[in-house]
Amino acid sequence: MDITKSKEGDVGVLGPAGAIDTRGALDFEREVTEMLGQGTRFFVIQLGKVELITSSGIRVLVMLTRTLKARDGELVLCNVTGQVTTILDISGLLQHFTILPALPDAIAHLSRRQPSAPEGSRLSRLAMRILDVEPMSLPRRGRAREMAGELLEILNRNSVAKSS
């Protein structure tokens, strides 16, 4: 199976061609895992050249959807052929995916979803890196989220005061 791979801004775009069967799913998963490892949180999978997708390929799509959801990301499928649509429908998973007609539509959809670049000083961005957090993915529970937010506010205030 051939897979085209590119980046459109912060969006990873994969275009598998052929059959995403047991063997093809391994290659597909390898490409997905590589892009996830590079920090990609927004994906478009172009399925226009996919002739067949088996449960192995569907597993990769489901795994990717769950991983991206946990990272506050999103997956969009586009150029989905009638045969692939039928397979996803029969499997009961069609409604679980965002499906758009073409790549430009998918990119536009994800571009609206992405958070803007972090504001603040270089110091506040460094603090976020040290804390291993992103502005849109601060810990969701308890005091840790509150403390991280307070720290970012203090750092931003201090950087504004110093630059004045």
Are both 79 and 18 inside the same structural domain?
Answer: yes
Give the model's pLDDT for residue 82: 93
pLDDT digits (tens, 9 = 90+) for 24-45: 999 999 999 999 999 999 999 9
Reported as a pLDDT band with limits 50, 70 and 90, residue 64 is: very high
Residue 34's domain comprises 2-113
91/142 same-domain check: no
Pair 22, 80 in one domain = yes
**pLDDT tens for residues 85-140?**
999 999 999 999 999 999 999 999 998 876 544 445 556 556 656 666 555 444 44
Question: Are 139 and 157 in a shared domain?
Answer: yes
Q: Which residues is 14 bridged to in the sheet?
A: 5, 45
Q: What is the pLDDT at residue 117? A: 43
Same domain, yes or no: 22 and 102? yes
Would you list the DSSP string of 47-98? Answer: -TEEEEE-HHHHHHHHHHHHHHHHTT-EEEEES--HHHHHHHHHTT-GGGSE
Residue 157's pLDDT band (cuts 50, 70, 90): confident
What pLDDT score does 139 carry?
42
CA-based end-to-end distance of the chain: 57
pTM here is: 0.69
The DSSP 8-state label assigned to residue 29 in this structure reads: H
Tell me, what's the pLDDT at 1?
85
Judge if 100 and 133 occupy the same domain: no
For residues 8 and 94, what is the distance between their CA atoms, to the nearest angstrom?
A: 25
What's 20's domain CATH number? 3.30.750.24
| Same domain, residue pair 19 and 88 | yes
pLDDT, position 103? 96
d(CA 66, CA 75): 9
Question: Which residue has 């804390």 as its token pair?
Answer: 131
User: Number of structural domains, the chain?
Assistant: 2
pLDDT (0 to 100) of residue 116 = 44
